[in-house]
Amino acid sequence: MTRVLLASVANRLVNDLRWMPGEPLTVGRMRIELLSGLTVALALVPEAVAFAFVAGVHPLVGLYAAFIVGLITAVFGGRPGMISGATGALAVVMVSLVAQHGVEYLFATVVLMGLLQIFAGVMQWGKFIRLVPHPVMLGFVNGLAIVIFLAQLSQFKVPGSVEVTGHGTGGGEWLSGIQLWVTLGLVALTMALIWVTPRITKVIPAPLAGIGIVAAVVIGFGLDVPRVGDMASIQGGLPPFHIPMVPLNWETFEIILPYAIILAAIGLIESLLTLNLVGDITGQRGGASQECVAQGVANTVTGFFGGMGGCAMIGQSMINVKSGGRTRIAGVAAALFLLIFILFASPVIEQIPLAALVGVMFMVVIGTFAWNSFKILRKVPLADSLVIILVTVVTVQYDLAIAVVVGVIVSALAYAWNNAKRIHAKVEHEDGAKVYKVQGPLFFGSSDGFAELFDVTGDPEIVIVDFADSRVVDQSALQAIEAIAGKYNAAGKRIQLRHLSRDCHRLLSKAGHLMVDSDDDPDYGLAVNYSVRTGVLGSH
């Protein structure tokens, strides 16, 4: 299995490196990809610094994670155009680990987290993301848009007094007076530039134009507004190789394992949902298991180079695809530009006003939020509407992983309940026998309803249960059949099972509830008697 997966990853990577199907790698395409990558890199800086503060580590730990995770997933990930880096969803889990045990335990946890994600990819568990219903996806998108919006509010507080949390802001003093109004004006100007630029020219990505023009205005007029450098200095060197300095014993493993499992799960869920979202925009499919492996390799490497780990970032991914980034070049460029900022260009980048980056993220929020969900809420079944609202609220209040799990469970229960109500039977008479033509799936939710279909006392000596329009799904269904057969047996009557499909027949046989002759029809036409003498089901 591992060899097949690696071969699949290699073939996919070779195909992706052809840049775009049917489109050559022209100068124009390269320009779009590089400028898109530059825009993403600029948006990554304040996010990585802020999430490092959340986790309680040095800003360079977040920046190194954004660079390494972004670079590796850009090259080997399952969806070209998707951006990964340090995220708030992971940072809020890391903070307690760092507070209790220190940053070295965080690095060890990130390594283990990556290994778990690689294992998930090799086992091809990424395919289970298809079980996430569409209402859950809508709730995820809406909830994450709100989270991105709330996270930007920290930029409207006085630098040095801001305490950033996973979903918004903590303590700190809000900007006031002329400084607040100037900041709001710059945010509005950035958003207006992003809206109008595509209508004038497509030579430069609209978000990059907005950042550049607003930064020029602020620097040129010397406006007193918060800038990137007010959060923290981003200057540093190359990420150094560093083996986590933790005791290699069972006690350490017990400490980091729970955190690694939670981080791996949150990282994969957010990455795979983002993968689907980007795929809907770019028209791409597949790559879930490849993305799991890429995320795992990226986090394992990051843990050995002093990074806090990461996963896919929906905000930066939306910036990339909206700016025209469609290939792996944009993601690689974003990571390399970020490294250039750290090594050489920190004095320039630190002068960029935070208002410009906030304006970009606000436009991402507007573009990400599923505004049509307000209409959908009135048209879809009530259960689906409740799932959309529930997932949105839980995403904002807690985190993405909990929201998705809750949404899937509620959707599954609603589906089971709806199918449980579908079980019924048409009654016919045939040569002195009463025929129950069962319709609807027979499973744990409908087993009680199945038992209520029969009139054991009033039925004739021979009863036929026809499953042509039904399916036996699970052990509860087998038990329901066994129970009703036992009742007829106790009443001295004979029951036959007819038209069991191949899978139902196999399920009953495997459970030992019927003995199958080799000449039985594997599809339909199988009649099974419940023997009054032996009390077992047998075919004939």
In this predicted model, what pLDDT tens digit does every residue of 374-433 receive, in sequence order?
A: 888 888 889 999 999 999 999 888 877 788 889 999 998 998 888 888 888 999 888 889
Looking at residue 513, what is its pLDDT?
Answer: 47
Higher pLDDT, 199 or 9: 199
Tell me if the domain spanning 421-539 has CATH number 3.30.750.24.
yes
Which alpha helices (DSSP H) does 353-501 contain, by range?
A: 354-368, 373-379, 382-397, 400-420, 447-451, 475-490
pLDDT at residue 481 tops 60: yes
pLDDT at residue 454 tops 60: yes
Quote the Cα angle for 60-65-69, to 5°.
Answer: 155
Looking at residue 21, what is its pLDDT?
Answer: 47
**What confidence category does residue 12 fall into, taking pLDDT thresholds of 50, 70 and 90?**
low
pLDDT at residue 216 tops 80: yes
Q: In this structure, are residues 148 and 50 in contact, taking their beta carbons and an 8 Å threshold?
A: no
pLDDT at residue 358 tops 60: yes
Looking at residue 326, what is its pLDDT?
Answer: 86
Higher pLDDT, 17 or 411: 411
- Give the least confident one: 207-221, 294-308, 324-338, 389-403: 389-403
DSSP strands (E only) in 119-276? none
The span from the CA of 527 to the CA of 466, in Å, is 9
Residue 498, strand partner residues: 466, 527
The span from the CA of 286 to the CA of 73, in Å, is 15
The span from the CA of 272 to the CA of 82, in Å, is 11
Pairing verdict, β 537-539 and 84-85: unpaired
pLDDT at residue 287 tops 90: no
Average pLDDT in the chain:
84
- Strand (E) or helix (H) holding 217: helix 206-221
Looking at residue 172, what is its pLDDT?
Answer: 67
**What confidence category does residue 191 fall into, taking pLDDT thresholds of 50, 70 and 90?**
very high
Quote the Cα angle for 219-222-224, to 5°.
Answer: 110
Higher pLDDT, 522 or 467: 467
Q: What average pLDDT does this structure show over 257-285?
A: 88
Name the amino acid, one letter, at 377: L
Place of tokens 């670079």: 71
pLDDT at residue 166 tops 70: no
- Going 280 to 283 to 287 to 291, the CA torsion angle's sign is negative
For the chain, what percent of residues have pLDDT higher than 70? Answer: 86
pLDDT per position as a tens digit, 308-337: 999 999 889 999 998 889 889 999 999 999
| Residue 539: partners with Cβ closer than 8 Å, 6 or more residues away | 514, 515, 516, 517, 520, 526, 527, 528, 529
pLDDT per position as a tens digit, 24-83: 678 888 999 999 999 999 999 988 988 888 888 999 999 999 999 999 999 999 889 899
Q: What does 239-252 look like in DSSP terms, one character per residue?
A: PPP----S--SHHH
Q: What does 5-69 look like in DSSP terms, one character per residue?
A: HHHHHHHHHHHHTT-BTTB---HHHHHHHHHHHHHHHHHHHHHHHHHHHHHTS-HHHHHHHHHHH
Rg (CA), the chain: 29
Q: In this structure, are residues 278 and 314 in contact, taking their beta carbons and an 8 Å threshold?
A: no
Q: What average pLDDT does this structure show over 145-163?
A: 77
- Give the least confident one: 133-142, 260-269, 285-294, 522-531: 522-531
pLDDT per position as a tens digit, 88-123: 888 888 988 999 999 999 999 999 999 999 999 999
**What confidence category does residue 370 fall into, taking pLDDT thresholds of 50, 70 and 90?**
confident
Q: Which two tokens stand for residue 130?
A: 């298809």
Looking at residue 498, what is its pLDDT?
Answer: 84
Looking at residue 117, what is its pLDDT?
Answer: 96
57-71, 162-176, 515-529: range with highest mean pLDDT: 57-71
pLDDT at residue 492 tops 70: yes
| Residue 283: partners with Cβ closer than 8 Å, 6 or more residues away | none
Higher pLDDT, 332 or 173: 332
Give residue limits of the domains in the chain: 35-368, 373-415, 421-539
Looking at residue 189, what is its pLDDT?
Answer: 96
**What confidence category does residue 144 fall into, taking pLDDT thresholds of 50, 70 and 90?**
confident
Looking at residue 540, what is its pLDDT?
Answer: 42
**What confidence category does residue 11 fall into, taking pLDDT thresholds of 50, 70 and 90?**
low
For the question of whether the overall pTM of this predicted structure is more than 0.75, the answer is yes
Looking at residue 506, what is its pLDDT?
Answer: 66
**What confidence category does residue 532 fall into, taking pLDDT thresholds of 50, 70 and 90?**
very low
Higher pLDDT, 230 or 169: 230
Name the amino acid, one letter, at 468: A
pLDDT at residue 238 tops 80: yes
pLDDT at residue 164 tops 50: no
Name the amino acid, one letter, at 260: A
Place of tokens 């052990």: 475
